[in-house]
Structure 1
Amino acid sequence: MSIDPHSVLGNLPSSLKAELVDEFNKIMRNYREGRWEASELNGGKFCEIVYSILDGYLAGGSYPSRAKKPARFKDACEDLAKSAKTYSESARLTIPRLLIPLYDVRNRRGVGHVGGEVDANHMDATFVLHAAQWVMAELVRIFHSADISTAAEVVKNLTNRTVPVIWKVGQVARILDTSMSLANGTLLLLYSELGPQIDKNLAKNLEQGSMSNYKRVLDRLHQARLIEYDRESGSVHISPLGEKTVEERILP
């Protein structure tokens, strides 16, 4: 959803609002695209921003202009509980307590999960997503300067379940929106991975039985400068214009 930080986050500094909304939207977008590791990394930055907001709020509104990273994140969050009890328990206790495990997903789980462990990236990213949604809803509840019904609607939307656009099963990636066009599906798959992909793999993921027909789709995307397609090697790169198309037209 589109969040208006000025109407639902009260009198917080505009720079902190922008940072918070930007990181939250990155978590949402990365989860939708199946970019589990990226989603977790954004969760760490999100925690630092929320900590900076709470620290300023509990210090009587003395906010930093930009988010800061405390030297000892766990200790810093626990110190927030020492604030005056005139502030809400959510700001002093509940949110800070949730930020600690949310931050640890990045720092202690290692995100990559190398070695003999079962891959837990999807599970961890799901925790990051829903924890971030809950924290955002609480911040809206605490800081909103909109009317009650508007704030309640924002909270409701923030806590709705988010379904990823791409579902990965082993080495296969499926687009769950069956109404999506072949061209848009191609752009989305290219956008979801770092580096180029091979036309045959894209065709397999998109369940295209005829390579000759699918190559014509790639040719049209190439001519529109949305991708760079090398027919000889089969390599397909998404262009900056293609990335912008995904972000502004396909994902919303």
Structure 2
Amino acid sequence: MLPNDLSTALAKEIDPTLAAQLIEEARSLEESFLLRRWKYTELDGGRFAEVSARIVYHADSGNLSLTKSVDDCLKYVDNGQVAHNFPEKQAAIHFAKVIRSIYKLRSQRGAVHVSPTYTANEIDSRLIIESARWVLAEFIRIFIKSKPEEVASAIRNLARFPQPLIRTYVDTPLLQSISFTAEEEVLAHLLYAEEGLATNDLTTRIPKDASGIRRALGKLSSGKYRQIVTRSSRWYITDLGINRIEEKIANEVAP
């Protein structure tokens, strides 16, 4: 069975610093995706690609670099005029293609550069996270030589959040925890909803007393808290609200 600490296991086969960075970026990527923070998923994917490229370069060239760019790392893999030491030659070529696609999507589809026609979305984020999972699974297969089912379990366990914060049942989103206060449930649903929610939406989705939910809205939007704002009869979460609910979620799943 795979050990719980993937970075320790990988550090026995690849550079320890790169191993620790890889797992940390993979964890950040998984958590951003589960929280539906699409822009952050793309940015985390870019950092994951950088670390992955350096791991491939180190294994293929024998040279360690903690700063070499993705393009420079992968150019070495593509160069037929140099010696290659990667355990599986064809795997190195596949790594180069997938890592480039993650990195280019992150930089060319709007997560890095402001675009008038594009904003980060779930479809792009799904492509990035599944590509990153494939890269990580291949690293584990090649360097640790684990069984596919053990690799899948290890990757699922990377995120601190064991399941999506909110799951939709017959068109109605439901918060999958019973420990949240009315205020925290409001914040959780607004974090999930990209287009904001009306008061009636919140009272329908939150299985608590409607008057309590309205009091929570008043408190959260007050000058003292400023964790939500209303625009055109819809509620939106602010950065202060995001910070509060993310801390709650982290505490909810802390060991």
Deviation string, structure 1 residues 91-140 (Cα, Å, up to 9, x no partner): 421111111111110122223784456x6721110000110011001111
Q: Where does 1:1-252 land on structure 2 (aligned, <5 Å)?
A: 3-60=5-62, 62-64=63-65, 66-70=66-70, 75=75, 78-79=78-79, 83-84=83-84, 87-111=87-111, 114-116=115-117, 121-144=121-144, 152-157=148-153, 164-166=164-166, 175-183=173-181, 185-189=185-189, 200=199, 203-204=202-203, 206-207=205-206, 210-214=209-213, 228=225, 237-238=240-241, 243-250=246-253
Counterpart amino acid of residue 131 in structure 1:
S
The farther-off stretch of 200-209 and 2-11 is 200-209
- Structure 1's 96 and 193: CA in aligned 2 closer, same or farther, altered over 3 A? same
The 3-state SS of whatever aligns with 1:7 is helix
Q: Corresponding residue for 1:224?
A: none
Tell me how far apart the structure 2 counterparts of residues 231 and 105 of structure 1 sit (CA, whole Å): 31
Contact preservation (8 Å) 1:175, 1:185: no
Tell me how far apart the structure 2 counterparts of residues 157 and 80 of structure 1 sit (CA, whole Å): 37
- How far 1:176 sits from its partner (Å)? 4.5
Task: Count matched residues.
Answer: 233
Tell me how far apart the structure 1 counterparts of residues 122 and 227 of structure 2 sit (CA, whole Å): 33
Contact preservation (8 Å) 2:219, 2:225: no
- How far 1:58 sits from its partner (Å)? 1.2
Unaligned runs of 5+ in 1: 222-226
Tell me how far apart the structure 2 counterparts of residues 91 and 190 of structure 1 sit (CA, whole Å): 42
The 3-state SS of whatever aligns with 2:20 is helix
- How far 1:43 sits from its partner (Å)? 0.8
- Structure 1's 42 and 110: CA in aligned 2 closer, same or farther, altered over 3 A? same
Deviation string, structure 1 residues 207-243 (Cα, Å, up to 9, x no partner): 468553125667999xxxxx94689999874486753
TM-score by length of 2: 0.67
TM-score by length of 1: 0.68
- Structure 1's 158 and 101: CA in aligned 2 closer, same or farther, altered over 3 A? farther
Counterpart amino acid of residue 125 in structure 1:
S
